[in-house]
Amino acid sequence: MSRREDGWRSQAALFGENSLNALDRWRMNNARDEEERAQQRQQERNEVEALRVEMGGELTRLRDEIEQQREMQIEVVGTALGEYGDKILDRAEQFTREIQRELFTLVEKRFAELAGRLDAVLPDARSRSTKFASERNESDVIDLPNPLVRKTTLN
């Protein structure tokens, strides 16, 4: 503070504000206004800082809530996809079994038709064509050994 400011301040403190001249009153009013503005700016800064802290806390809370919702959504979607995938697999297996059953039925039907045609064309073909390896032709006569005769060798 300058010497002039000290002068009007000390005079106002000693003799009261009424003892000041117009210039000193203007200085006093100007100083009061300046102090009020400084206090107001400080109060605004404090309010802004308090709001920043409050907003920071609110943002943190919102981020946590969004993260929880995201995790819950991922879990719900995963569960739904798993259930839907299981249903699709069950349905695909069912279709596969039905198609396999129809195919086997069709193959059996066609095989029976072909076997019937073969029997119609060659009625005895199967009975004659099937032989075991040890069998001989029917025209060959085979003498069987007599089981009652005992073969003994003399020395």
Residue-wise pLDDT for 20-67, tens only, equals: 788 777 887 888 899 999 999 999 999 999 999 999 999 999 999 999
- Structurally, how many domains does the chain consist of? 1
pLDDT tens string 3-12 = 556 677 777 7
In the structure encoding, which two tokens stand for residue 132, read together?
Answer: 């075991």
Measure the CA–CA gap between 29 and 144, rounded to whole angstroms.
151
Domain range for 23 is 3-120
Q: What average pLDDT does the segment 125-144 reach?
A: 62
Q: Is residue 32 part of a domain?
A: yes
Q: Is residue 114 part of a domain?
A: yes
**Average pLDDT value over all residues in the chain:** 83
Helix axes 3-15, 22-121, angle to 10 degrees: 110
